Amino acid sequence: MTTKSLSEEDLQRRFRDVEENLKVVEERIAAAAEHAGRKREDITLLAATKTVPVEIINHGIEAGIRCIGENRVQELMDKYEGYRKDLADVQFIGHLQTNKVKYLIGKVSLIQSIDSRKLAAEVSRLSQRAGITTNILLEVNIGREENKSGVLPENLEQLLGEVSQMPNIQVRGLMAIPPAGAEKEETFAYFTQMYQYFIDIGSKKLDNVSMQRLSMGMSADYELAIAAGANMVRVGSALFGPRDYSKK
């Protein structure tokens, strides 16, 4: 994940693009928040940095990004020492395998993609061993898609009860990705349903569960998510441009 393949001119262009894109995204978040009767500061912008070279990520951080999220464990490890961690929070937002948990403990402030008792138990075990508490979100498969990770809505309460009893782990909220290509009204309905789960769980005041984060909405639909109640949006291509998968 370097910019060695870019000329200085191309690098400077990418830097300018990130600055301009960030301004646009910030304006749109602020407008969406205001329209929903909320404040801009109520919404956390997480920059999704999959395939983005660390130099460009850091330029975005220097321009004002304060929260970044990686989708792949190996990519996070490759880039970790290069992040401007003094200025930005680092989180993990992608599908996580149990055998990769060990690489994240103590390195990220939040794991957004816990979707099973087994995965949560491994986070708990390794956090205990490290003497730290790891913050997590439970990922909900809101669209019930067979090829997508996340706990099914009807199993959320059971998983929540199990995870809340585990030591050295703190449930901080929920995360979801609605089906791609859904109509606007359908996507909004999924977001609204997630918000209801978020509110309902928060009202139960469970031990080791604090509904602080509702992470939903990406580049194509973050304004809809804010309208439905999201307080964290994960924006990638709208900030950094189309993904360059040749640089995996």
- How far is it, in rounded angstroms, from Cα 105 to Cα 80? 13
Residue 214 domain-assigned (yes or no): yes
User: Rounded mean pLDDT of 93-109?
Assistant: 98
Residue 246 domain-assigned (yes or no): no
Residue 191 domain-assigned (yes or no): yes
Domain count, the chain: 1
Residue 1 domain-assigned (yes or no): no
**Residues above pLDDT 70, as percent of the chain:** 96
Where residue 158 sits, what CATH number does that domain have? Answer: 3.20.20.10
**Domain extent for 143:** 8-239
Burial 18-40 (b: 16+ CB within 10 A, else e): beebbeebeebbbebbeebebee
Residue 245 domain-assigned (yes or no): no
**How does DSSP classify residue 114?**
E
Verdict on whether the full-model pTM lies above 0.85: yes
pLDDT digits (tens, 9 = 90+) for 214-233: 999 999 999 999 999 999 99
pLDDT value for 243: 79
Residue 200 domain-assigned (yes or no): yes
Residue 95 domain-assigned (yes or no): yes
pLDDT digits (tens, 9 = 90+) for 107-163: 999 999 999 999 999 999 999 999 999 999 999 999 999 999 999 999 999 999 999
